[in-house]
Structure 1
Amino acid sequence: MLYLLLSIFCSASLIFIFKLYERYNVHTMQAIAVNYGVCVLVGLCFPGGADVLQPEIFSRTWAYYAMALGFIFIVTFYLIAVTAQKVGVTVASVAAKISLVIPVLFSLLVLQTTVKEYTWLNYTGMAAALVAIVLSSLRPRQQEAGEAGTRVPLVLAVVLPLVIFLNSGVADSLINYTNQHHLQPHEASQFTMLTFAASAVIGGAVILYQRTRHKTSLRRRSFVAGVVLGVPNFFSIFFLIQALRYFNNDGAFFYPINNIGIILAGAAGAAILFKERLNPLNKLGLALAVLALLLISYQEIIANLF
């Protein structure tokens, strides 16, 4: 249970850190690139982490999937940061964690690995997830963002969470596919490390392009912010894996519980730390997100709790 709480804490803290980037004028992309470099360095401290430095790792069938996942990770991470800063912490956490719907459908329709029979309640939960994203994103007026006082268009405030939802779902589905068809259990740490390394290389390339093309200066505070983000980012994955083992690798039961915890922790933190106010539609969207996750996996939850 401790690992579950630590996983929820680390995952929720990532979005809080993104929100603080705006307050302290941190260059988000620079900090995200440094963050993935820190993830790699922390991973090297663990047994087997140095295997990612071996050239033969690229001969593995899963290597290209790991690199593709690295690209999806850094793009999604950046979008989550922008959403947390411009739209809200609660919206960002809901969009990222309600994406469980996509890998569930992918497993059902493509991988065909599910052994349970889906009912109308499960499908209702999937539909409710999409409605939850829209409701949690709506604001009575367009929200101000940035020192210049520019406003986020209402359409963009809804589109950003939806893109995060799709990207996060595609990433989880790619992990499921790779795990089933290409990855051996003892290669999981190498796969994770290569994914982080790919994200770090892509982030470094973006920073180099911005520096040479747009003369963007490298900020010292961005490196510090990247370290602050990278440590909990790595351990969010580490504690997730440990917690999953505690629940006997029952992902259908564990992930909804974990994601509900992250969504609620994100909403509570947003209200306490950043004074975010939710209108009635936002509150309905938040409640609907929790209900959607419960409906999607209610069979496993009932089986494990009763």
Structure 2
Amino acid sequence: MLYLLLSIIASTSLVFIFKLFQRFEVPTFQAIVVNYLTCLVVGFLFSGGSGVVQAGMLQQSWVIYSLALGTIFIGTFYLIALTTHKVGVTAAAVATKISLVIPVLFSLLVLKNSLLKNYTFLNYAGMFAALVAIVLSSIRPRNNNDGEEPVSPFFALLLPFIIFLTSGIADSLINYTNHFHLQQNEASQFTMVTFTGSAIVGLVVLLYLSITGKTTFYNKSIPAGILLGIPNYFSIYFLIKALYAFGNDGAFLYPLNNIGIILAGALGAVLFFGEKLTKVNLAGLALAVVALVLISYQEIIANLF
């Protein structure tokens, strides 16, 4: 249970840090690039460097998928930051964590992993409820923008849905790679190559923007990126440790983890940042929790009773 709580805290802190970036006018993309470099350093130091870099690693079949995942990660991370700024912490948290609908469908329709359980009407109702939850949690009143520039209703819905799609695609890609290409003892290398891919893409884009004069690098991006990178790395580390603690039962753990992040994100947004949630937003928040429960109610019942 301790690792589950630490995973929730680390993951929730990411959207809070993005909100602080907005408050202190930190160049978000620059900080995100530094964040992935920090993840590499923390991962290397925390593992003692053992088993992370091995001869012939780059010739493995999973490397291309890992690098593609790294590209998706940095793009999604930036979109989460943008959504946090423009729509709110709650909408960003809901869209990111409710995206498990996509890898579930991918597992059913593409990988044909339906032998794990028989999907019922309640499971599919949960998937539909997840989509509705994104809409409800993203609707912002026109006269309440928390001091920010007004955002159009279309844009307020579009950003969370893009996050929903890219996060789901990333999880599905991990599932596919793990199913067809990755060995269990290669997990740490896969993670580090993914972070490397994110860092390379970020550095190339940042270098291009600097050369073309479209951006100027600010020194405050470095401590901001380090502040973001440490919990980013440990959000994954603690999640893996929590999986081991729960007997590697992801179908039970992921909904609990995601519900915790959604609720903690909403509570923190209200308490720390004065984010105003309407009755519609609260309904979306509640529906997100219900959706996650419906999607995995069989595993929840089996583990509780």
TM-score by length of 1: 0.96
Distance 1:36 1:145, change over 3 A: farther
Residue 125 of structure 1 corresponds to which residue in structure 2?
126
| Structure 2 unmatched ranges of 5 or more | none
For 2:101 and 2:89, the matched residues in 1 are separated by 20
CA RMSD of aligned residues (A): 1.4
Amino acid corresponding to residue 61 of structure 1 in structure 2: S
Tell me whether 1:222 sits opposite 2:193 in the alignment: no
Name the aligned partner's letter for residue 284 of structure 1: A
CA–CA distance in structure 1, aligned partners of residues 129 and 201 of structure 2: 35
Question: How far apart are residue 54 of structure 1 and its match?
Answer: 5.1
Name the SS for the 2:46 alignment partner: coil
Report if the CA contact (8 A) 2:16-2:89 is conserved.
yes
1:218 counterpart SS class? coil
Gaps of 5+ in 1: none
1:3–1:242 contact (8 Å) kept in structure 2: yes
The letter of the residue matching 2:278 is N
Q: What's the offset of the Cα at 1:53?
A: 4.8
Q: Displacement, 1:46? A: 3.5
Q: Which residue of 1 aligns with 2:292?
A: 293
Shift of 1:94: 0.3
Letter in 2 for 1:12: T
Q: Which residue in the other structure is 1:77 paired with?
A: 77
- Where in structure 1 do 4 or more consecutive aligned residues deviate above 2 Å? 46-56, 142-146
Distance across 1 between alignment mates of 2:162 and 2:72: 11
**Given residue 153 of structure 1, which amino acid in structure 2 is its aligned partner?**
S
With over 3 angstroms needed to count, the CA separation of the structure-2 counterparts of 1:164 and 1:49, relative to structure 1, is: farther
| Aligned counterparts, 1:266-281, within 5 A | 266-281=265-280
CA distance in 2, matches of 1:131, 1:47: 41
Instruction: Determine the structure 2 residue equivalent to 1:65.
Output: 65
2:79 counterpart letter in structure 1: L
CA deviation after TM superposition for structure 1 residue 256, in Å: 0.3
Q: Would you say the 8 A contact 1:134–1:285 is kept in 2? A: yes
Tell me the TM-score normalised to structure 2 length: 0.97
1:293 partner amino acid: L
1:217 deviates by 1.4
In the TM superposition, what is the alpha-carbon distance from 1:57 to its structure 2 partner? 1.8
Q: Percent identity?
A: 62
- Which residue does the alignment assign to 1:138? 139
Contact 1:125 1:294 in 2 (8 A): yes
- Give SS of 1:151's match: coil
1:214, distance to aligned residue in structure 2 (A): 2.5
Name whichever of 105-114 and 247-256 sits farther off: 105-114
Q: Is the 8 A contact 2:90 2:269 kept in 1?
A: yes
Residues 149-158 or 170-179, more deviating: 149-158
Counterpart code for 2:124: Y
Task: Provide the C-alpha distance between the structure 2 equivalents of 1:73 and 1:202, rounded to a whole number of angstroms.
Answer: 10
Aligned residues: 304
User: Matches of 2:186 and 2:280 in 1, distance apart?
Assistant: 44
Distance 1:267 1:124 in 2: 24
> Which secondary structure state, in structure 1, belongs to the residue aligned with residue 117 of structure 2?
coil
Equivalent position SS for 1:194: helix
CA gap 1:223/1:112 in 2 versus in 1, 3 angstroms: same
Q: Is the 8 A contact 1:69 1:195 kept in 2?
A: yes
Measure the CA separation in 1 of the matches of 2:74 and 2:143: 27
Whether 1:179 and 2:148 are equivalent positions in the alignment is no
Amino acid at match of 1:125: G
Structure 1 distance, partners of 2:101, 2:49, is 31
Structure 1 pair 102–215 and aligned structure 2 pair: CA distance change class (3 A): closer
Aligned pairs for 1:189-268 within 5 A: 189-268=188-267
Amino acid at match of 2:299: E
Given that 2:7 and 2:238 are in contact with CA atoms closer than 8 Å, whether structure 1 keeps it comes out as yes
Alpha-carbon distance in 2 for matches of 1:298, 1:230: 34
Q: Residue 48 of structure 1: CA displacement? A: 7.0
Please say if residues 86 and 145 of structure 1, whose CA atoms lie closer than 8 Å, have aligned partners that are also in contact. Answer: no
- Distance in structure 2 (CA, Å) of the matches to 1:50 and 1:168: 30
